[in-house]
Structure 1
Amino acid sequence: MNLRNCPQCGKLYVHTIRNLCPECLKKDEEDFGRVRDFIYNNPQASLEEVSEETGVSTKSILEYLKEGRLMLRSNNVNILLSCELCGEPILTGRICEKCSSKFKRELTSRKKPMFVDEDMKGKIHLSKFSRDERRR
């Protein structure tokens, strides 16, 4: 059993997928629903207006966007979210498609394997051991 303290209220709870206790998770889902509905019905609203009308903090609204749970439409011009790498405007997440594909290309083009060959681990260890034995 994986017990943790809720980062919002401090209560001890059994950790599942989300990092909140059941009570805070329920409140977060309700807040998310209010924000989603308000933005859908008021696409020209600013971040501050959304926060004021829904009672949800701007920090939480930005987290919904960065987590990918909430996506702006192209006509949501008053809420600005930008790529953390290049600064381009984005509708959801943390990085734009261009930076994401560039990052994926760099990962797949690496020449060195990221993991050591499992068959070689023992041979390398044993060869070092046998050298040490010969020195004695």
Structure 2
Amino acid sequence: MNVSNCRGCGKLHMQAVDTMCADCLKSHIADARAVRAFIQANPGANVMDLVKQTGFSLKKVNELINR
């Protein structure tokens, strides 16, 4: 295992598989679930609808969708 900076918060952590610390990974998973739930509930929505309704930035939404 390597020591690296978390790509979410920047703190040092032991990198096993992901490049995020455990706290940021939990937050990322919760955000991804919120985006998925919105998409399932609103199949005709576009990205800007998603941004407005969830409160996530456009950059964050694109990251969650593309990951």
Q: TM-score when scaled to structure 1?
A: 0.45
Q: How does 1:19-30 map to 2 (within 5 A)?
A: 19-30=19-30
> What residue is the counterpart of 1:52 in the other structure?
52
> What residue is the counterpart of 2:61 in the other structure?
61
> What residue is the counterpart of 1:16 in the other structure?
16
TM-superposed CA distance for 1:8, in Å, is: 1.8
| Structure 2 counterpart of 1:2, one-letter code | N
Give the structure with higher Rg (CA): 1
**Number of residues of Structure 1 aligned to a counterpart in Structure 2:** 67
What's the secondary structure of 1:7's corresponding residue? coil
| Structure 1 counterpart of 2:66, one-letter code | K
| Structure 2 counterpart of 1:6, one-letter code | C
Per-residue CA deviations over 1:29-59 (Å, capped at 9, x if unaligned) read 0000000000110012121221221222222
Cα RMSD over matched residues? 1.4
Gaps of 5+ in 1: 68-136
TM-superposed CA distance for 1:14, in Å, is: 0.7
Tell me: higher relative CO, structure 1 or 2? Use CA pairs within 8 A at least 6 residues apart: 2
What's the secondary structure of 1:56's corresponding residue? coil
Q: TM-score when scaled to structure 2?
A: 0.84
- Residue identity over aligned pairs, in percent, reads 37
Gaps of 5+ in 2: none
